[in-house]
Amino acid sequence: MSKRKSKESHMTVGQCVSQAQSILRKRFCHQELATSPVGLESQHKHLLELLRRTAVHGESNSVLIVGPRGTGKTMLLNYVLKELLQEQDVKSNIMMVNLNGLLQTDDRIALKEITRQLNLENVVGDKVFGSFAENLAFLLEALKKGDRSSSRPVIFVLDEFDLFAHHKNQTLLYNLLDVSQSAQAPVSVVGLTCRLDVLELLEKRVKSRFSHRQIHLLGSMTLAQYLETAASQLSLPTDFPDAKFANDWNDAVKKLCEDKSVEGVLRKHFEGSKDFRSLHTLLLLALSRVSVSSPVIRPADLLESGRCTAADSKANILHGVSILELCLIIAMKHLNDVYEGEPFNFQMVHNVQNILLQISKMTSNKPNESESESPTEFKKFISRKSHSIHNFEKPVVIKAFEHLQQLELIRPVESSSAKIQKDYQLMKLLLDHTQVLEAVQRYPQCPTDVRQWATSAFA
């Protein structure tokens, strides 16, 4: 006991902070939960029972975990597998194969990946098989124990399950489900998908071999449960090397989550996205602000993280464009305001000075107009404010216009197949009025003329 105390006393604040950040970063980056998934008790029990029957009793099963993105399908499966592998007799016996429809785009790649994950490259060698089924049967046969009486149970996890349905003849799905149904070997096939109509994608022969077990996740977590989860995610474990630091940290986390401003940030985050990936991103940003001088997470840290995650990405892109490109965006904003969102082309943007001058002539015919709003004064105003565009040669302006299209700040409007000259191709601005004004206000060292032109009432 005394040695343990002396060891704890030798840990400096810097070492404690570094250790805490390491533990929490690992938790956030690997999408780990400190406790069991909240609001998924029945689904957790059902899935655990299915996989235990395969791992312990050698019973083959197949099941689909269905739910919208971010509801915790992968998180639930990982938690169940972690719990299952903690059982000593299971850990030494069970084998895992993880496939993803985004990576294994055809059956040949999938079979190669299965062979690699089962560590059977040397067993297969240069053997030639007549069919996929023959190859898979050989792999499962190779997993049999020394007495050849039984085979090691294998759990196949198929992420993005619906994408496997697009493989030619659905050979992979057919053979995996056929093995799980015919009891050739203890196999569980677990599919994860966000498509509710996934069974409609399966061929009749594949569907007939599926058990039709489905576990639905609908994201029923409440705000109170979300706040509790956020607190548990930030808390340090009981086996942290420095008990005093861990207690101080966990007390600070408790006070943090009781703060009204922090609750507001988490509430806004909850209303926008209930998935744990976005929550972990928010908490990771707050964690990165912890240092030796500030060894706990403060409400200001979480508020700043909330601002960063809620930042407008398109408005941020505008902070890095050139003055010429910014002026083109402002000209497009004026055209949008004048023509009420109708498409425009490059020629219209380049000639925006003349367009605005025409508007000034129309407004100058109104009665009781002040002398300061005469066409002459407005002509001076426009020529001064749009000076940035007309300082450049037309090819340079075209290049800037094309760069804005590459940044996806503007996009061409779908039109007929007839070829249209580049200058006259209709475009649409993908920024609204508020985004442009906000970007102009925050643009580093933005010329006063350009800022005034953007906020001009003549637009």
Check pLDDT > 60 for residue 433: yes
The confidence score (pLDDT) of residue 381 equals 47
In this structure, the dihedral spanned by the alpha carbons of residues 345, 351, 356 and 361, taken in order and rounded to 10 degrees, is -120
For the ranges 303-312, 355-364, 405-414, the maximum mean pLDDT occurs at 405-414
Interval 76-102 mean pLDDT = 85
Cβ–Cβ < 8 Å for 45, 80? no
**Tens of pLDDT, residues 323-375:** 888 888 888 888 888 887 788 888 888 776 544 444 444 444 444 444 334 44
Compute the mean pLDDT over every residue in the chain, rounded to the nearest whole number: 79
Q: Does 12 or 161 have the greater pLDDT score?
A: 161
pLDDT, greater one: 91 or 246: 246
What whole-number distance in Å separates Cα of residue 149 and Cα of residue 132? 24
- Residue range 34-83, pLDDT digits in tens: 567 777 888 889 999 999 888 888 888 999 999 888 788 888 898 899 88
CB within 8 A of 5, min separation 6: which ones?
Answer: none
Q: What percent of the chain lies above the pLDDT cut of 70?
A: 82
Asked whether the predicted pLDDT for residue 416 surpasses 50, the reply is: no
Give residue 445's pLDDT: 81
> What percentage of the chain reaches a pLDDT higher than 90?
13
Give the Cα separation of 146 and 196 in Å (integer): 43
Q: What is the pLDDT of residues 1-46, one digit of tens each?
A: 444 444 445 678 888 989 999 999 888 887 776 567 777 888 889 9
Confidence of residue 128 (pLDDT cuts 50, 70, 90): low
Compute the distance between CA of residue 317 and CA of residue 325 in angstroms, rounded to an integer.
11
Q: Model confidence at 150, in pLDDT bands (50, 70, 90)?
A: low
